[in-house]
Amino acid sequence: MSHEAVPWLRLWHLRDVSYKQKRVLLDEFGAAEAVFDAPNTHIAELLGKTKAANAVAAPFSQDAFTADLEWLKRGNCALIPITDNTYPTLLREIADPPLVLYAHGNPELLLQTQLAIVGSRNPTPLGRETAFDFA
């Protein structure tokens, strides 16, 4: 597991900080680690004196993402931040791309031609079976 995973997971799991606010922080600082190294006054300038600014500045506990850390330790698992070279280029170009991807297997494969099946997060049994058949 990369030492870079912790700040990205910390950013990903921040409560009271919207996706757009996280993007503002990343655009300003370039990486998750830099967000948490930034002075609280700079964060407050960017986000205003809000719950979000307080959430970024608050002490953190890895308890919020312990399950993610355990999953990463299993091996052959990776966290791919949006700034990583293996993050799919076309996915980065959509309106609101995920800040991190959870990958099981070889993340280098994400750079090859791909086919995706997009569906419900809560499929019916028939929907699950149909997606399996297509795959």
C-alpha distances out from residue 78 to 35, 104, 121, Å: 21, 6, 21
pLDDT value of residue 2? 58
pTM: 0.77
Half-sphere exposure of 6 (CA within 13 A, CB side): 6
- For the segment 19-42, the average pLDDT, to the nearest whole number, is 93
Predicted confidence (pLDDT) per residue in 46-84, tens digit: 988 888 888 888 888 888 888 999 999 988 899 999 999
Domains of the chain: which residue ranges?
A: 5-108
Residue 101 β-bridge partners: 80
